Amino acid sequence: MNRILFVCLGNICRSPMAEGILRHKAEKYGLKLKIDSVGTGSWHAGENPDKRATKTAKDRGIDISKLIARQITEDDFENFDMIYVADAEVYDGVVDLALNREHKLKVDYIMNLVHPDLNMPVPDPYFGGIDGFEKVFDMLDKACETIILKVKNTQ
Ligand code: 4NP
């Protein structure tokens, strides 16, 4: 369960922050993880993260400035063990691409790591201010800490 993919809509705000946070923690704890992030949409493919996401992460000591957005593909269901989605819209978009039950079972809401079974969204900060990004960062940080605890129990 060591290959983890984060998914949001554009792959420029929420999921790259989650990727950066988990990469940072995995390095800190010396854990071997394959980590990536994607969007269900293609609008921002090829772009670096939104400047507000980059600043929020940088203020907490994490550099996500060089990540590059891409759109999810069917191969991602084979290449990752867990696919964590930001909200219901993203969940629906991802599950629509799943070819079988095994793929579908890999998909879960990111915040279910913190509040199991509630399917709580990570709110989309794109149309708001920097405070929305900071709130999202804190939510993702908690979720990533739970992933680290799970992995530590298996490595
Ligand atoms: P993200 O945020 O899904 O967290 O990367 C968004 C980025 C761009 C758009 C929507 C959400 N957009 O509509 O372009």
Residue 81 one-letter amino acid: D
Say if residue 153's pLDDT is above 90: no
How far apart are alpha carbons 116 and 77 in whole angstroms? Answer: 22
Cα separation of 99 and 106, whole Å?
12
38 lines ligand 1 (CB under 6 A): no
Ligand 1 site, residue 43, Cβ cutoff 6 A: yes
Confidence (pTM): 0.98
User: What does the pLDDT look like over 81-136, one tens digit per residue?
Assistant: 999 999 999 999 999 999 999 999 999 999 999 999 999 999 999 999 999 999 99
Any catalytic annotation for residue 124? yes
Nearest Cα to Cα of residue 108 among 100, 97, 120, 99: 120
Q: Report the pLDDT value the prediction gives residue 155, as an integer from 0 to 100.
A: 72
Q: Is the dihedral of CA 23, 110, 1, 142 positive or negative?
A: positive
154 pLDDT more than 90: no
User: What is the pLDDT at residue 15?
Assistant: 99
- Share the mean pLDDT of the chain: 97
pLDDT of residue 19: 99
Q: Which among 10, 40, 48 has a CA at the least distance from the CA of 107?
A: 40
Cα(62)–Cα(140) distance, integer angstroms? 13
